[in-house]
Each structure stands twice: as C-alpha cells, then as structure tokens.
Amino acid sequence: MSLVDRLPDPIETDRLVLTPLSASDAEDMVDTLSSPDLYVYIGGQPPTLDDLRSRYAVLTTGHSPDNSEEWLNWIVRLGNADRRAIGTVQATVTEDGRRAEVAWVIGADGQGHGYGSEAAVAMVQSLVEAGVGHVTAHVHPEHVASAGVARACHLFPTAEFHEGERLWEWRSDSQKG
C-alpha cells in the first residue's frame, strides 16, 4: 500500500486546507509563486504558467521514474470560503514509506501569518501518523523563517550541509541510534 493511501485527503488545520496537487492547480499557483523574493534562498526564478503546468504534470504521477521515490505534493489553501492558494508543501518518500524529505513554500502575500508552520506541521504529523519514522528538510542557514518552520515541525539542525543548506531532521525513537 502506498503511503498516500494512508494519509487524510484533504489535510485540514484550523485555518488551512492542504489538497493533493493536480495539474489544474498551476493557474492558482502562478501568481502565488511570482515574487522573486521567494527564490533568494532556494534559487531559481518565478515560473511561468507553462513551467508550472509541465512541472505539475510530472509531480502528479506520484513517483519518480524508477519508482524509488513517492512524490506527495499539496497545495496550501486558506480554509475560508475563498480557498485561495497560498503555497505548497511536499514530501519525497523513500525506504518503503519510512523516510520523508519535506519542503514548503508560502507565497509572499501569505507570509508572516504562521501559515508555513501550520501547513508543514500538519503535513509532517500526517506523515508520522502514516508510519514515517525519519523526516528531513534542507534549510539555507540564513533563512530564519524557514528554520522556524523546521523547528515547528520538531526537526533539529544537524552539522551536515548539502549544496549550502543545513540538514534538519527528526527520527522516531525506533529510528534513533
């Protein structure tokens, strides 16, 4: 059974709804991801609508081409009546659902309200409840807000760096040692 089959659909919090990514979400997300400020620490540039459509078409397959990774992606939407898309959260799952590398991005208009932490915590809690025992994230050392999101998810910084980003992690007691 795939990990996605063990997750709530949608994932809901007090203020947000995390809905599984679909190719049609590109239209909602192109403006959300349009601020160049979002790419200061993660690199890249704002995607075009065609870029997002192409990327989302690949991501919605749910797995890497060799099936070694399960790709779980959610659009973060406000839980109010307008359901405006404000960002994304994602997990790349390996080791038969035992390990997940997570990431998040909240558009510039949604920042400063705690939405990133709320969405990422909800995703990580859902992953752990579904059986994931090791969660990691890579955070640029100068990205204070993203480090705060990692802390909210109970991830801890390690001494390991990859491509300039610090590895943060959480392991269940059965995964430690």
Q: Record the pTM.
A: 0.94
* Per-residue pLDDT at 176 exceeds 70: no
Residue 168: predicted pLDDT:
98
Residue 18: C-alpha distances to residues 3, 40, 89, 104, 130 (Å): 16, 25, 8, 12, 16
Superfamily of domain 3-175 in CATH is Gcn5-related N-acetyltransferase (GNAT) (3.40.630.30)
For 35-77, write each residue's pLDDT tens digit. Answer: 999 999 999 999 999 999 999 999 999 999 999 999 999 999 9
DSSP single-letter state for residue 84:
-
For 136-152, write each residue's pLDDT tens digit. Answer: 999 999 999 999 999 99
Hey, where are the domains in the chain?
3-175
For 77-97, write each residue's pLDDT tens digit. Answer: 999 888 999 999 999 999 989
Residue 107: predicted pLDDT:
96
Q: How far apart are CA 34 and CA 52, in angstroms?
A: 11
pLDDT band of residue 4 (cuts 50, 70, 90) is: confident
Quote the mean pLDDT of the chain: 94
Percent of the chain's residues with pLDDT above 90:
88
